[in-house]
Amino acid sequence: MMQNKINEPVEATHLGKKSEFPEQYDASVLVAVPRYENRKIYNIEERPSIFVGKDVWHAYELGFLTEIGLPVTGMLKLVYGADNLFLVESKSLKLYLNSFNMSNFGKNRQEGIEEVLTLIKADLDKCLGTNVDVSFMEDGQEKKLDFNDFDLLEQHPDAELVDYTHFNESPELLESVAGKVLKVGSHLLRSNCKITHQPDWGSVYINIEGESIPSKMSLLKYLVSFRNENHFHEEVCEMIYKRLYDVFSPKKLMVACLFTRRGGIDICPVRASHESLLPTNLIDVDSRDCKLIRQ
């Protein structure tokens, strides 16, 4: 893990600073961020027992040169578990991936792709102390979507009849109603970067089952209340999951947050009470899932 200045959080190594892009392949720029700081605030164990999950990354600007200088470009998909102790800081990953741009790999295109993927996997496995699945994708691959049967909260007739006055995470907004299953989503998720405080836009999908479930409008108001929160994407997903878990004690619960790309990378964390609830295409490293309006 890259060392940082005294009293400066490791996640601020690159974020909020002018950074020089490496001119050649350089794994030293990668930064691993401990998950425990935010988890302890929400009483989530360092290695959680209340959920399983994946962090899914799509990097749309991966490129390198073959040995004869032919450019190769495509999308890199990364998938790794939420039970490890670290997440990779996004700007460090951007700098790292850009270090491939003017570097030469492979006698031909396919050989170069294999060499680059092998390097990326080895570097991220080492940085994060876990197994990271990687794949390289191009246009023309089949695209799939996991969330077709989720209703959008903002399209509910009552969405324009309630007041939205809380813009910091407010679990007291959540109201319980009798029910069994609620499968809803929203494209209105917005939070801010933990370090730079720049806005992060995204879509959120929630599947909750239990004797009591949140009313749709109280859930929408709660999701809107993240608007002024400053957290990493993975933290936002876990915060929503933990609040719903604490308030409703559900039998089953899944929360997926699909954030808008920034710097050519989008981050899509998902947490669930049961592995069977994890969105199949999103967590499959070899599946090209459809992009949503916020991606």
- Contact criterion met (CB below 8 Å) for 30 and 127: yes
Q: Based on the domain organization, do 85 and 152 belong to the same domain?
A: no
Q: Say whether pLDDT at 144 is over 70.
A: yes
Of all residues in the chain, the percent with pLDDT exceeding 70 is 92
The yes-or-no answer on residue 284 being catalytic is no
* Structural domain harbouring 196: 143-289
Residue at 2 is within a domain: no
Q: Say whether pLDDT at 289 is over 90.
A: no
Q: What are the structure tokens assigned to 85, written together?
A: 């102790």
Give the predicted TM-score (pTM) of the model: 0.91
Give the CATH number of the domain where residue 122 resides. Answer: 3.30.1130.10
Question: Measured between alpha carbons, how far is 134 from 119 in angstroms, rounded to an integer?
Answer: 10
Q: Say whether pLDDT at 236 is over 80.
A: yes
Which of 115, 137, 159 delimits the end of a domain?
137
The catalytic position among 193, 237, 257, 268 is 193
The catalytic position among 200, 266, 284, 289 is 200
Strands 151-152 vs 181-192: parallel, antiparallel or unpaired: parallel
Instruction: Give me the number of domains the chain comprises.
Output: 2
pLDDT (0 to 100) of residue 129? 96
Surface-to-core class of residue 20, CB atoms within 10 Å of its CB (0-12 exposed, 13-18 middle, 19+ buried):
exposed
Residue at 266 is within a domain: yes
The yes-or-no answer on residue 193 being catalytic is yes
pLDDT (0 to 100) of residue 139? 73
More confident residue, 276 or 194: 276
Q: Say whether pLDDT at 10 is over 90.
A: no
Over range 34-54, report the average pLDDT.
92
- Contact criterion met (CB below 8 Å) for 56 and 270: yes
Over range 159-187, report the average pLDDT.
96
